[in-house]
Amino acid sequence: MSLDLNLENAQKVFDISIVLSKTLELIFEDNNGIVLEIPANTTTFKDWNKLVVYKKDGTIQITGTQDDINEGTLVKI
């Protein structure tokens, strides 16, 4: 996947991130989340095996884990 990050595209990526974060805030209850495989085309999370996306104090958080947990597993933090 190739993405030309000119100013207009960067704004679209940012806006989509905000919309998806807001969606997850509405779906998840506090201290609940889901385990994800790290997408191959990302570079930010290279030090982890998996990611845990969860809601805490009303906001979406992302943390990494070295644990061998299946993608899609729902977790309580």
Confidence label for 2 from pLDDT (cuts 50, 70 and 90)? low
Q: Quick one: pLDDT at residue 43?
A: 86
Half-sphere exposure of 43 (CA within 13 A, CB side): 0
Q: Quick one: pLDDT at residue 27?
A: 95
According to DSSP H, which parts of the chain are helical? 7-27
Q: Quick one: pLDDT at residue 40?
A: 84
Sorted by where each begins, the domain ranges of the chain are 7-76
pLDDT digits (tens, 9 = 90+) for 16-70: 999 999 999 999 999 999 999 998 888 888 889 999 999 999 999 999 999 999 9
The vertex-10 CA angle with 58 and 42, nearest 5°, equals 70
Q: Quick one: pLDDT at residue 5?
A: 65
